[in-house]
């Protein structure tokens, strides 16, 4: 959301520096950061020094490279105990994860991606645990993304989806009209399935969660490796996940079934 009041440029720059790191590129130098965010090296250096003072950034003394610091974990921890949705969802999704013995997440739409807010999984099932909470994922290549945007207007969908749908695997839907058809089906059936669309070997099922106004605000997603979480098994657990979503939506004040 664009605020009318002037913003603080130094803070905007500091945040864009924080955002320049990724899970796939956790370590960057001053020059590389300068190039990526378009800020002169001396300015980047000063901003990094400030972030380092508060442990949002740390520097490897051997290589001189910078990385995100653990104070971000602390701030994220403080950020997590937040909404009614999360408080209501936790016991219900924990129960579902125990029943299914697969990875269960609570996922929301944020700008043009979906992001996991909560994760429930057994340690032996957490093969892909790294990165789940806080992980941003493309809307078109995930069951979560489809489960949420299927219930948006066409105008909203157009604003959310990029013009070029990136293909992450051979199974990713990269054709806009095919995606549109898929979204109509999601709307009709009340759930979305993604079979190896985001990553090879990863299957997922997602069901939307509605608030008291009937608006889709999040979804429950179940995922696992395709050798275990087979297409057949995905279909078997649909009733269970639909029921969980209905229970959650109901506790949030939603009064209609599908």
Partner DNA sequence: AACGCTGTTCCGCTAAGCGAAACAGCGTTA
Partner DNA sequence: TAACGCTGTTTCGCTTAGCGGAACAGCGTT
Shortest Å distance, C-beta 207 to a second copy: 18
Nearest to 93 by CA among 104, 79, 107, 83: 104
Nearest to 75 by CA among 60, 99, 91, 57: 57
Binding mask 128-167 for a second copy (x = CB under 8 A): --xxxxxxx-------------------------------
Rg, C-alpha atoms of the chain: 20
Binding mask 89-118 for a second copy (x = CB under 8 A): -x---x--xx-----x---x-xx---x-x-
H or E segment and range at residue 251: helix 238-251
By C-beta, is 38 or 91 nearer to DNA? 38
| Position 39 contacts DNA (CB under 7 A) | yes
Six-digit token pair at 16? 């864009």
63-71, 159-167, 190-198, 220-228 -> range binding a second copy (CB under 8 A): 63-71
Site size for DNA (CB under 7 A): 24
Q: Strand pairing partners for 202?
A: 225
Binding residue (CB under 7 A) for DNA from 15, 18, 36, 45: 45
H or E segment and range at residue 220: strand 216-225
75-83, 154-162, 193-201, 232-240 -> range binding a second copy (CB under 8 A): 75-83
Helices (H), 6-106: 9-19, 30-37, 41-53, 71-80, 84-100
Site size for a second copy (CB under 8 A): 68
Helices and strands (H, E) in the chain, number of each type: 10, 8
Site for a second copy, residues 2 to 31, rule: CB under 8 A:
2-3, 5-8, 10-12, 14-16, 18-19, 21-23, 26
Binding residue (CB under 7 A) for DNA from 1, 2, 4, 123: 4
């Amino acid at each position: 959301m664009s605020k009318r009041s002037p913003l603080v440029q130094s803070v905007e720059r500091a945040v864009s520096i924080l955002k320049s790191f990724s899970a796939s590129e956790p370590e960057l130098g001053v020059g590389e950061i300068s190039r990526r965010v378009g800020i002169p090296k001396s300015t980047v250096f000063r901003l990094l020094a400030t972030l380092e003072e508060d442990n949002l950034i740390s520097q490897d003394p051997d290589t001189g490279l910078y990385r995100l610091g653990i104070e971000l974990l602390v701030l994220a921890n403080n950020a997590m105990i937040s909404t009614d949705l999360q408080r209501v969802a936790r016991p219900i999704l924990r129960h579902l994860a125990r029943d299914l013995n697969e990875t269960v997440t609570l996922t929301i739409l944020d700008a043009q991606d979906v992001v996991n807010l909560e994760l429930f999984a057994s340690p032996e099932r957490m093969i892909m645990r790294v990165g789940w909470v806080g992980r941003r994922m493309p809307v078109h290549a995930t069951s979560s993304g489809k489960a949420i945007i299927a219930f948006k207007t066409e105008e909203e969908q157009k604003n959310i989806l990029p013009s070029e749908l990136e293909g992450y695997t051979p199974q990713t839907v990269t054709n806009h009209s095919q995606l549109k058809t898929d979204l109509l089906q999601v709307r009709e059936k009340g759930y979305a399935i993604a079979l190896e669309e985001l990553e090879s070997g990863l299957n997922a099922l997602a069901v939307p969660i509605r608030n008291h106004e009937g608006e889709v605000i999040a979804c429950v997603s179940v995922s696992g490796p395709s050798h275990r979480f087979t297409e057949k098994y995905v279909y078997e657990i649909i009733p269970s996940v639909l029921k969980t979503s209905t229970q959650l939506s109901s506790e949030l004040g939603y009064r209609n079934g599908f």
